[in-house]
Amino acid sequence: MAAFVPVSQWGLFPDGDRPFVVAGPCSAESREQLLEAAAGVKAAGAGVLRAGLWKPRTHPGGFEGVGAKGLAWLAEAREATGLRVCTEVGGAQHVQACLKAGIDMLWIGARTTANPFQVQEICDALRGADVPVLVKNPVSPDLDLWIGAIERLQAAGITRIGAVLRGFTTLDKTPYRNAPVWDMSTRIRTRLKGLPLFVDPSHMAGAAEYVKELSQRALDLGACGLLIEVHPHPQEALSDAAQQLDPAQFKDLIGNLNVRSSDTTDGTYARTLEELRARIDGVDSRLLSLLEERMRISRSIGALKKEYGVSILQTGRWEAVMEGLRKEADAIGLDRSMVEEIFSTIHDYSVKVQE
Ligand code: PEP
Ligand code: MN
């Protein structure tokens, strides 16, 4: 597969932009609304205007987007502001209409990424087109489903591809609409080296008040770009009203982001980082060999229990072990919940090797 093209070489964002900001309303609602949104996000420094034309709505009968007639509004907004424009595609017909209208970038939505048939249909329609495509994570935290969609695009010859972390459906209680599961951003970049990563804090948040903190977290974790919903009058929005920022809030957010450089040429920094990383590597190796030793002992315990006909799982013993570990963790200043999580996993594997 061809290497991923860095976003700075996509020819979409102004030179020197960082982070790369895609912003605009959840949905294009009218020509006026879109032009007003475009002017607002341009003034705050976004590089690309977003607006959904075909909206995947959970329930039927809601606002399902203005459809193909919005393509001309996007073109007009591009003309008026100099912003490049992008929209969501959910099938071959959307792709064909966008390519014909010269839309600068497309994105595949979370519900679509979850469906390989649909993704393949989009890729077949894209074959031979040279347009950048962003792939939102699927609604469930299924890394391979997300990667699979990207592989299909690569196989169709698309070279400018970015992933968008927009959070995941969860039954856990969280303040957000979609749980961020930040470690998915690391895992996908470990599997697909050089893959540009955007974050969509708006769909993660579900509420305007959280968009700022999630944007900052995204940059701290090394995301190169953000996808943010901005509406000239959020309270009147026909979709996702609660999470859209108004242009002033958006400007404030962009102006106050703390952008850390991903690298520096400072010698002391590089040397110190190298030393710290070497120490981490050493600790990791020690952890591994301790784990190996622990698993070996577990196997011996398993053999002993078998010989004497005793059941493997003895919850009383495990509860006592965990309680002891919690106390030790507190005493040395380690986060209890981290210790609980790590040791529960180790325990699960110990039980497995005794079977
Ligand atoms: C959107 O960007 O408006 C959208 C529908 O997002 P998602 O696919 O992430 O839900
Ligand atoms: Mn939306």
Print the SS3 string covering the chain: CCCCCCHHHCCCCCCCCCCEEEEECCECCCHHHHHHHHHHHHHHCCCEEECECCCCCCCCCCCCCCHHHHHHHHHHHHHHHCCEEEEEECCHHHHHHHHHHCCCEEEECHHHHCCHHHHHHHHHHHCCCCCCEEEECCCCCCHHHHHHHHHHHHHCCCCCEEEEECCECCCCCCCCCCECCCHHHHHHHHHCCCCCEEECHHHHHCCHHHHHHHHHHHHHCCCCEEEEEECCCHHHCCCCHHHCECHHHHHHHHHCCCCCCCCCCCHHHHHHHHHHHHHHHHHHHHHHHHHHHHHHHHHHHHHHHHHCCCCCCCHHHHHHHHHHHHHHHHHHCCCHHHHHHHHHHHHHHHHHHHC
The atom number, within ligand 1, closest to the CA of 200 reads: 9
Is 78 close to ligand 1, i.e. is its CB under 6 Å away?
Answer: no
> 46 in ligand 1 pocket by Cβ < 6 Å?
no
Query: Whose C-alpha lies nearest to ligand 1, atom 10?
Result: 110
Q: Is the dihedral of CA 260, 264, 270, 272 positive or negative?
A: negative
Same domain, yes or no: 115 and 77: yes
Q: 201 CB less than 6 Å from ligand 1?
A: no
Q: Answer yes or no: is the C-beta of 203 below 6 A from any ligand 1 atom.
A: yes
Q: Which atom of ligand 1 is nearest to the CA of 164?
A: 9
**Ligand 1 binding pocket mutation candidate from 27, 88, 238 (most atoms within 8 A of CB):** 88
Q: What's the confidence (pLDDT) of residue 61?
A: 87
Let me know if residue 262 belongs to a domain.
Answer: no
Q: Residue 291: what pLDDT?
A: 94
Q: Are residues 247 and 285 in the same domain?
A: no
Rounded to 10 deg, the angle between the 247-255 and 31-44 helix axes is 20
Which of 224, 256, 288 is the endpoint of a domain? 256
Alpha carbon of 203 to ligand 1 centroid (Å): 7
Q: What Å distances lie between residue 173 and 163, 168, 177, 245, 265, CA to CA?
A: 26, 12, 10, 24, 43
Atom of ligand 1 nearest to the CA of 136: 9
C-beta separation of 192 from 164 below 8 A: no
Residue 293 belongs to some domain of the structure? yes
Of 256, 277, 297, the domain-final residue: 256
The residue whose CA has the least distance to atom 3 of ligand 1 is 26
Residues 18 and 129 reside in one and the same domain? yes
Ligand 1 within 6 A of CB of 52: yes
pTM of the model: 0.79
**Alpha-carbon span 107 to 196, nearest angstrom:** 14
User: What's the 99 CA to ligand 1 centre distance in angstroms?
Assistant: 20
1 in any annotated domain: no
Going by C-alpha positions, the residue among 231, 48, 247, 15 that lies closest to residue 134 is: 48
Q: How far apart are CA 153 and CA 2, in angstroms?
A: 11
Nearest CA to ligand 1 atom 8: 109
In tens, the pLDDT along 10-68 reads 999 988 778 999 999 999 999 999 999 999 999 999 999 999 999 988 889 889 999 99
User: How far is it, in rounded angstroms, from Cα 276 to Cα 272?
Assistant: 6
Residue 155's CATH number:
3.20.20.70
pLDDT at 222: 87
* Ligand nearest to the Cα of 56, by number: 1
Cα–Cα distance between 355 and 165 in angstroms, integer? 38
Asked, for residue 117, whether it belongs to a domain, the answer is yes
What does the pLDDT read at residue 41? 97
* Domain finish residue from 256, 282, 311: 256
Query: For residue 95, what are the domain limits?
Result: 7-256
**What was the pLDDT predicted at 34?**
98
Q: Which atom of ligand 1 is nearest to the CA of 56?
A: 5
Question: Does 65 sit in the ligand 1 pocket, CB within 6 Å?
Answer: no
Cα of 311 from ligand 1 centre, angstroms: 50
Q: 194 with 99, same domain?
A: yes
Q: Which residue bears the tokens 């959970």? A: 58
Do the beta carbons of residue 255 and residue 51 sit within 8 Å?
A: no
50 lines ligand 1 (CB under 6 A): no
Q: In this predicted structure, what is the pLDDT of residue 264?
A: 62
pLDDT for 276: 85
The CATH code of the domain that includes 302 is 1.20.59.10
Give me the number of domains the chain comprises.
2
Q: Is 234 in the pocket of ligand 1 (CB under 6 A)?
A: no
Are 44 and 119 in the same domain? Answer: yes
Same domain, 247 and 288: no
109 lines ligand 1 (CB under 6 A): yes
Mean pLDDT of successive 10-residue stretches along the chain, which has 355 residues: 91 88 98 98 96 93 94 98 98 98 98 98 96 98 98 97 97 91 91 96 98 95 95 97 98 93 69 81 88 94 90 83 95 95 94 85
Q: Are residues 305 and 340 in the same domain?
A: yes
Claim to verify: residue 56 and residue 148 sit in the same structural domain? yes
Q: Which residues surround ligand 2, an ion (CB under 5 A)?
A: 26, 240
The answer to whether position 261 is within a domain reads no
Cα–Cα distance measured from residue 78 to residue 150, given in angstroms and rounded to the nearest whole number: 27
Whether 13 and 162 share a structural domain: yes
| Among the bound ligands, the one closest to the CA of 238 | 2
- Is 24 inside any structural domain? yes
Residues 185 and 304 in one domain: no
- CB distance 26 to ligand 1 below 6 Å: yes
Q: 281 and 246 in one domain?
A: no
Residues 228, 300, single domain; the answer is no
